[in-house]
Amino acid sequence: MGRNKEDDIDIPLLRKVVEWAETEEKLTKDREWFQGAWVREETFPIAATAYQSGDVASQTTPWCKTTMCIAGKIALDAGWKPMMSRDPRDREDTGVMDGSAFYADFATKDGASREIRSIAVEELDITLREAFKLFEGGNDAADIRTFAEEIAGERL
């Protein structure tokens, strides 16, 4: 089942976030991209690449910043502000349970509150089915490019 010709995917925006993820994936510190959360803010040392690979022993980069997946990047670039809150399950997978991580599933703008995924879906003008593949938390930059090109129907 393909898209109708009248569907207007925002190809430039799709290309922009693919290139952003690819650039971010190469960084070893001061990285903004983390595909595992819509928006996340942490205040303890852990390398993004170590966390994504599960190699918690290689906590080498002091990390005290906000990170986000591509949907979070789209929402924030569109002027939405994340509604950060503490997640009681934070860091179960790494064994760090110090309450130092904050997450946002929703964002606010002009008095409105919306789910970050729905903001990104609307900005890109993609379907929810496409969004589930593109925004999957386990995606690396190559996966994101592959799914983005499937959605766009062209190389980006």
C-alpha span between 60 and 58 (Å, rounded): 6
Residue 29 has what pLDDT? 74
* Cα dist from 3 to 10, 24, 112, 152, whole Å: 13, 30, 30, 9
Higher model confidence: residue 17 or residue 57? 17
**CB neighbour class for 50 (10 Å; exposed up to 12, middle 13-18, buried from 19):** middle
Counting runs of H as helices and runs of E as strands, what totals does the chain give?
A: 6, 7
For the chain, give the mean pLDDT. Answer: 77
Lowest mean pLDDT among 90-94, 118-122, 137-141: 90-94
92 pLDDT more than 50: no
Q: What is the Cα gyration radius of the chain?
A: 16
Full strand arrangement of the beta sheet holding 112-115: 81-82, 106-109, 112-115
Other CB atoms within 10 A of residue 118 CB: 15
Higher model confidence: residue 13 or residue 4? 13
* DSSP conformational letter for 45: -
Helices (H), the chain: 11-25, 48-53, 70-77, 116-124, 128-134, 141-152
Residue 61 has what pLDDT? 41
- Average the pLDDT over 101-111 and give the result: 83
Residue 42 has what pLDDT? 63
Q: What is the DSSP string of 107-128?
A: EEETTEEEEHHHHHHHHHT--H
pTM of the model: 0.74
* Cα dist from 43 to 6, 16, 23, 88, whole Å: 45, 28, 23, 15
pLDDT tens digits, residue range 22-75?
998 888 777 788 887 767 776 544 444 444 444 443 333 434 466 788 999 999
Residue 68 has what pLDDT? 82
- Average the pLDDT over 67-88 and give the result: 83
- Average the pLDDT over 78-95 and give the result: 65
Residue 37 near residue 69 (C-beta atoms within 8 A) = yes
Residue 9 has what pLDDT? 94
